[in-house]
Structure 1
Amino acid sequence: MGTQDSDKWIIEAEGVGRCFGHHEALSRIDLQIGRGEIFGILGPDGAGKTTLMQLLAAILDPTAGRCRVLGFDTVRDAAQVTARIGYMSQGFTLYDRLSVDENLAFSARIRSVPDALFQQRRKALLQMAGLESACRREARVLSGGMRKKLSLCTNLIHEPSLLLLDELSLGVDPVSRRDLWRMLRTFRAQGTTIVLTTPYMDEASYCDRLAFLHQGQLLAVDSPDALKERARGQVYEVVTARQEEVQQLTGEYREIVSGQWLADRFRLQLASGKAPSEPLRHKLEALGAFGPAAPDLENTFVQLTAPPTDTGSTPEQTGFESVQVDGTDAITARGISVRFGNFSALKNLSFRVAAGEVIGWLGPNGAGKTTLIRVLCGLQRPSAGEVHIAGVALRSAPMAVRARIGYMSQHFSLYPDLSVIENLVFFAGLYGLSRHKRRDAVHWVKTVVGIEGIDGRQAGDLSGALRQRLALACAIMHRPAVLFLDEPTSGVDPLARRRFWQLIQLLARAGMAVLVSTHYLEEAYYCHRLGLMNNGRLIALGTLGELRSALETPLHTADMETLFMTYMARASADEGAIT
């Protein structure tokens, strides 16, 4: 490679591969990343993203090919590479017992940053990250977003030429994610090259270029807009309340490779080069407003992976039965407040959730979402107010309420050393199902979520998508009236996410109310209504159309991120005015 090429490319990978035993995690990766780029690497769990990042950071050696970073070979000159980069792993290692200032000082010392420069950079980084007021707090008490920002600061204190960030914003709320990206753009403007992995397709659009990884293979490298164009002409949608009928049609036409069941419409993706046949077009037009739709990066992923037709199952195919709900509303909350000493975690929340409704609960970290779910699940007693679940008063009959709810945590509360069937049987017993009902429930739920034939596999050995389905099965086998989902699709690929949401729509269609907390704003389109929380208050509740209509005319078609940030800014301004 000539000197001119080395000046142009910060990273050069030629035929890079990596094996772990007989497993090939990466295969024949050719990649060039330019100076001053923000370069994103996309892919589901197991795609090889972290392995690639560790190769670029000279933590792992390739078993095939070679890689040069900042002009140095990552095998022969590993020490030269590690001294010149910033690398933030998924665990974003911090010293929990050290304060914000002490973590920064330690990172500066091991990077040999002179004290005068450290003081100058410390001030700038803390201000940029909004951590000035937290500089004496221990890292262990920081919120997830603040910890990510501190970890980023520790990796920027020596002002590296290259910053490698592995899933920087996974699990971070949209407000903190905006702050993180503001920091990245500032350093990119100063000449820093940034390579990051992300599970968020909307976030990927902020990158200059993207690489799609799947099963260790590099599928495509291009700008976000150019990648979206690859799927143009293949995506259509039907605006309808009859999504179930559209879904049934998709199984009859082989040109359809993917379906996406949203709250008020159904999106279809056709195979490359295919157009809707006249019979398909005629049937879809009879069900609603049918026409082409703008493709997104998820559509590109579907196109690149060329999956077999997978439109999921229908209630008839699964033997799905309606969930029994006592009363009109699945949830009624009146005047809910929670106080811890002088701190108010929830402030006079009142709302109703109808049977069969999917409602998304959005808000920054610390908004009160988790406290609210704990109240609704009977795990936290409110300081004031009352809650009814499926017609049962939570305060007077907490055990009866718990039999009517299901809960799926963000990290999937499964027993990794138990098999699939052992997990299912254990949770069936936990819900108090008798032996006869337990057998029927396990058979039913395996069919509903699509995990037949894997009874003997250990839960810890399953892919992220299968673990997700198993966790959902464990949460719904007793057919609860209300299902709580906490960040349910974190880290899974777009097809798995779509299949999961189709299951949720089927549950809702059968009468189950579903409350979803998520930081993935695009998932709001799957929900019938959205509840926005900030600082313990419910600041908005309504359909996406209602929330948009409440804004000024220029924002009446705002995307979810713009909508969310606008409401958060208004809430902060209102609280400031009251103060």
Structure 2
Amino acid sequence: MSAAPVITADSLARRFGKRTVLEGVSFDLSPGEVLGVVGPDGAGKSTLLQMLAAILRPSSGRCRVLGSDVRKAPGRVQAQVGYMSQGFSLYDRLTVAENLAFAAAIRDVPRAAYLERKGVLLAMAGLARFEGRREGALSGGMRKKLALCANLIHEPPLLILDEPSLGVDPLSRRELWKILDAARTAGRSIVFATSYMDEADASDRVLLLRDGRPLAVGSPAELRGVARGRVYRATASDPAALERQLTAAPEVLSFQKRTADTFRIQLAGDAPLRLPGAPVLEPVEPSMEDAFTVVAAASAPVTAAKEAREPRAPSAEVRVSAEGMTRRFDDFVAVDDVSLTVKAGEVLGLLGPNGAGKTTLIRMLCGLLPPSDGRGLVAGLDVARQSERVRASIGYVSQKVSLFTDLTAQENLDFFARAYGTPRGEQVRRIDRACDRAGYDAPRDGLVRSLSSAVRQRLALASAIVHRPKVLFLDEPTSGVDPLARFRFWRLIDALAAEGVAVIVSTHYLEEATYCDRLGLMMDGRMIALGPLSTLQAELGLSEARVEDVFLGFIARARGQARAA
């Protein structure tokens, strides 16, 4: 006899007032099975997981978890599962050990079992030597691992994890998944939500969500099979000409530049792609990101914005320069002696673990934080002495999207247009143009707080470019958006750079490094590598390596040098 499902969900839906945020979700989860709920921000992932954890009640539909109805026995469900929310749910004034002790106490874990499990979990998470450190002093990746340990301390049969690796660097993501693999090996069932498409391959089955509705459910292999025959690699002797052809081709959903002369292409249909000039086209095995792009387009046809552009003109004008920039907070050095330059029309990508100093460096260059030492120039202005003029000449999209949530979208756009000094007679035209370029097509008369985070990001980008800045700073702008939205975003960045805008962008999506002219790898506040991807690959002797391997290679080298010093 087969075991009873751990979860049975039938036509689940959730409404907030008149707004439906989730509907039509049905699936079963077997003992020991891992289900990945995959989709962009605003897809309904958190709402679904909160219903599975009996925190939210379904508006309609039925759901049983570990044999209990989430409506009739929410307390029983909550006592049995381990639920990790998207935000940090620990106590920042307590130490690592105190947070774990508290989690064990409220779950009635016997002391002997707690001590044994604590040792195993902290060793697995690499936190054993930080037992006495306050949670608030941990890096983002370490806090995520501690939260996971706190949810495993009572050995629940079911883990429900909401975006466990969101905003976490690739190294910490690997360490998180080692902990989850151990939980899976121990027989626990896992439901996790993610906007990282590649994490779907860690699942037995995947539920694809968009706009609150299920797109598909199946094994990773089944979903990739849907996209088979629609994903190609193209190689051409004239990459610029090929890029223009792909931009104009209606059957092309999206494409990504992988190397100097190769592109990965996703097609809207099964018809073969025919391009002039006979570029070499080779069908390739789809990834989960390819699968999501194809399935999403098939369920609700979209036209991905493919803004045409001319090849970037080389420029000798330096728009951003940093010389020995350092920022200290009391005894803590957040940015340590960083030097760099960015020219007009150039895109610099900043990569690094959580706590590496990327955001602090960007805030200094934006004139929002004065450097403790060193000097920074942006558009010819000193970031310390002329900070107000610096802020008027740049565009900035912060990691937390700094919009006014109690104002409407139109009021935000009007405010930023005026604040950045856009001529009054051109405000309406420039706002419309900025919204079109940023892909913001939502109504402008609603309050910003009612928008999903992905839509807010597009609004923030439109607000940042309405005054046509000379320099654009983007701090993790694509976190939590779907592949088509990321494609649209990078096409816009490419077009802005072609117009002479200098762009500095930080990201945890390492594949986005291929869109950048140069990369700056940061760790512990220092710039440990700076240059084009091909140069960094050659420096490590990894000419064909993936970006992730280059990233981890430089981190390993830096850590080895620190130990030897």
What TM-score comes out, normalization by structure 1 length? Answer: 0.88
Aligned to 1:268: 265
Amino acid of the structure 2 residue aligned with 1:156: L
Aligned to 1:37: 33
Q: Which moved more, 1:510-519 or 1:265-274?
A: 265-274
Change (3 A) 1:20 1:341: closer
Of the candidates 194, 199, 210, which is equivalent to residue 214 of structure 1? Answer: 210
Change (3 A) 1:179 1:421: same
Change (3 A) 1:62 1:324: same
Change (3 A) 1:430 1:244: farther
Aligned to 2:128: 132
Aligned to 2:2: 4
Change (3 A) 1:407 1:11: same
Measured in 2, the distance between the counterparts of 1:150 and 1:531 equals 29
**CA apart distance, 1:532:** 0.7
Change (3 A) 1:456 1:569: same
Aligned to 1:507: 496
Q: Which moved more, 1:392-401 or 1:416-425?
A: 392-401
After TM superposition, list the pairs within 5 Å mapping 1:49-448 onto structure 2. 49-239=45-235, 246=242, 249-250=245-246, 253-260=249-256, 264=260, 266-276=263-273, 280-283=274-277, 285=279, 290-305=281-296, 306=298, 307-312=300-305, 314=307, 328-395=317-384, 397-448=386-437
Measured in 2, the distance between the counterparts of 1:178 and 1:432 equals 45
Change (3 A) 1:98 1:421: same
Any idea what SS the aligned residue of 2:276 has?
helix
- Work out whether 1:523 is the aligned partner of 2:525: no
Any idea what SS the aligned residue of 1:348 has?
strand
Any idea what SS the aligned residue of 1:97 has?
coil
Of the candidates 519, 522, 525, which is equivalent to residue 533 of structure 1? Answer: 522
Deviation digits for residues 422-475 of structure 1 (CA, Å, limit 9, x no counterpart): 111111222233423544532442343244683323322334343222101111
What TM-score comes out, normalization by structure 2 length? Answer: 0.90
Change (3 A) 1:217 1:424: closer
Amino acid of the structure 1 residue aligned with 2:548: E
Q: Is the 8 A contact 1:165 1:197 kept in 2?
A: yes
**CA apart distance, 1:245:** 5.3
Any idea what SS the aligned residue of 1:346 has?
strand
Measured in 1, the distance between the counterparts of 2:524 and 2:326 equals 12
Amino acid of the structure 1 residue aligned with 2:351: L
Q: Is the 8 A contact 1:211 1:219 kept in 2?
A: yes
Any idea what SS the aligned residue of 2:349 has?
strand
Query: How many correspondences in the alignment?
Result: 561
Change (3 A) 1:410 1:195: same
Measured in 1, the distance between the counterparts of 2:15 and 2:331 equals 55
Deviation digits for residues 17-54 of structure 1 (CA, Å, limit 9, x no counterpart): 34444444333333122322332110122322122212
Deviation digits for residues 166-206 of structure 1 (CA, Å, limit 9, x no counterpart): 11111122222222111111221212222100111123223
Change (3 A) 1:131 1:427: same
Q: Which moved more, 1:50-59 or 1:157-166?
A: 50-59
Any idea what SS the aligned residue of 1:432 has?
coil
Q: Is the 8 A contact 2:118 2:153 kept in 1?
A: yes
Any idea what SS the aligned residue of 1:27 has?
strand
**CA apart distance, 1:398:** 3.6
Change (3 A) 1:423 1:20: closer
Measured in 1, the distance between the counterparts of 2:18 and 2:332 equals 55
Deviation digits for residues 259-285 of structure 1 (CA, Å, limit 9, x no counterpart): 446684544322232211xxx322563
Percent of aligned pairs sharing the same letter? 48
Amino acid of the structure 1 residue aligned with 2:276: H
Q: Is the 8 A contact 2:314 2:345 kept in 1?
A: no
Q: Is the 8 A contact 2:227 2:295 kept in 1?
A: no
Measured in 2, the distance between the counterparts of 1:363 and 1:418 equals 34
Deviation digits for residues 153-174 of structure 1 (CA, Å, limit 9, x no counterpart): 2111101111110111111222
Any idea what SS the aligned residue of 2:270 has?
coil
Measured in 1, the distance between the counterparts of 2:255 and 2:47 equals 31
Measured in 2, the distance between the counterparts of 1:344 and 1:21 equals 48
Amino acid of the structure 1 residue aligned with 2:307: T
Any idea what SS the aligned residue of 2:339 has?
strand
Q: Is the 8 A contact 2:306 2:488 kept in 1?
A: no
Runs of at least 5 residues in structure 2 that lack an aligned partner in the other structure: none
Measured in 1, the distance between the counterparts of 2:61 and 2:328 equals 59
Any idea what SS the aligned residue of 1:365 has?
coil
Measured in 1, the distance between the counterparts of 2:46 and 2:440 equals 27
Any idea what SS the aligned residue of 2:62 has?
strand
Aligned to 1:573: 560
Measured in 2, the distance between the counterparts of 1:233 and 1:506 equals 30
Aligned to 2:466: 477
Any idea what SS the aligned residue of 2:27 has?
strand
Any idea what SS the aligned residue of 1:379 has?
coil
**CA apart distance, 1:564:** 1.7
Measured in 1, the distance between the counterparts of 2:386 and 2:227 equals 53
Measured in 1, the distance between the counterparts of 2:469 and 2:444 equals 23
Deviation digits for residues 271-308 of structure 1 (CA, Å, limit 9, x no counterpart): 232211xxx322563xxx54434422121112212143
Measured in 2, the distance between the counterparts of 1:20 and 1:384 equals 50
The two structures, once aligned, show a CA RMSD in angstroms of: 2.9
- Work out whether 1:542 is the aligned partner of 2:531: yes
